[in-house]
Amino acid sequence: MSLNIDKIVAAIPSAGPEKRRQMRANARTWLETGTDAQKQAAQTLLTALDGQEAQEREALIGELRGMDVSERVVRAFTAQKMAETEARLIQALLDHPGSTSSALSKAMGWEAQSWHLHFGTMCFNRSTYLWPAPESERRDGAFYSGILADFDDASSTFTMKADVAAAFAKLGLRPKHAAR
């Protein structure tokens, strides 16, 4: 198999996420099973992909640095559209502020701490836009749910941060009932 690695590398900036994932997968295969030339080309490709993605990440961080939290939330959920389940996660918290993860899970028709797991994953998946995640006080690592929601340790309850709720209102998500 003959590779023109320069053409492949030149295509990286215009390649979408799926195309880049495929490029990485191909490069990993070449590293494992390819000829010496393919292994060298694979390493060149992986280095170029890493460099391009680092450059794009730095440009995005520079752009986001000037935005407040509300603007970053709108940007995050505009750049990476929310799935129906994600909209329901957000809506559950907007409709039931001051609720436990179990109560929010129940509002979703789920059990146990499912809401918290999915909400945290949603925040993690957009952490490039929403940073920084606060450190968890209960375990090692970041508390991704804490990017968008306040957590009351004493009552183990979640409430959407006011500026985040305002951002979601701009995206069409508002509490279904007024607070009493």
Return the percentage of the chain with pLDDT > 70, whole number. Answer: 92
Whole-model pTM?
0.71
pLDDT tens track for 27-59: 999 999 999 999 999 999 999 999 999 898 888
Q: With contact defined as beta carbons under 8 Å apart, do 86 and 122 qualify?
A: yes
Q: With contact defined as beta carbons under 8 Å apart, do 31 and 39 qualify?
A: yes
Lowest mean pLDDT among 42-51, 58-67, 143-152: 58-67
60-97 burial string, b = 16+ CB within 10 Å, else e?
eeeebeeeebbebbbbbbeeeebeeebbbbbbbbbbbe
- Residue 156: DSSP 8-state: T
